[in-house]
A = this chain, B = another copy of it.
Amino acid sequence: MERIPILKMGHFLLVTIQVDLYDRLAMDLEANLIREVNRTGAKGVLIDISAVEIVDSFMGRIIGNIASMSKLLDAQTVVVGMQPAVAITLVELGLELPGVHTALNVERGMELLQGMIISDDIIIDDDDDTFPEKGFDKDQ
């Protein structure tokens, strides 16, 4: 199985990284994810790395690339589920994932994205589809 599935959930795309990202797999993930952002018009990308025990500079760069590319297509990227040890390593290595938002878990990541979408789209208001009821049943 050499493909990382991209799950659409409402306005967001969810990716769970469970395997070591080597070159081709990472490139494929980048390409597929950006294609899906474009195809679905997703407003956010959630990358779950709770199963990841080591984030090296390569993986850091891939995540950074995804965030930058998504941004160009008007989607925000949130990395969720980072293990404490990974956070320590990232800071010690000086890899601080610029441009990438983080959240403790998927639920909080979704809340964060929702918040970002609302603040972006605060002007856009759905047209009000209220149909004035014309035929009331008059009981009495």
Mark A residues whose CB is within 8 Å of B. Answer: 1, 3-5, 7-10, 14, 16, 18-20, 48, 50-53, 81, 105-107, 110
Chain B hits for A16, CB < 8 A = 5, 7, 16, 18
- Copies of this chain assembled into the complex: 2
Given the contacts A16-B18, A18-B16, A19-B1, A9 and B48 also touching, CB distance less than 8 Å: no
User: Who on chain B is nearest to A10 by CB?
Assistant: B107
Chain B hits for A14, CB < 8 A = 7, 14, 106
Given the contacts A1-B19, A19-B19, A20-B1, A8 and B51 also touching, CB distance less than 8 Å: no
Flag if B105 contacts A7 (CB, 8 Å): yes
Chain B hits for A10, CB < 8 A = 107
User: Who on chain B is nearest to A53 by CB?
Assistant: B1
Main secondary structure of the interface of A (DSSP, over half): loop
A33 shortest CB reach to chain B, Å: 14
Flag if A8 contacts B52 (CB, 8 Å): no
Bound Cα distance A107, B11 (Å): 11
Bound Cα distance A84, B51 (Å): 28
Q: List 15 A-B contacts (CB under 8 A).
A: A1-B53, A3-B18, A3-B51, A5-B16, A5-B18, A5-B51, A7-B14, A7-B81, A8-B106, A8-B107, A9-B107, A10-B107, A14-B14, A18-B18, A19-B19
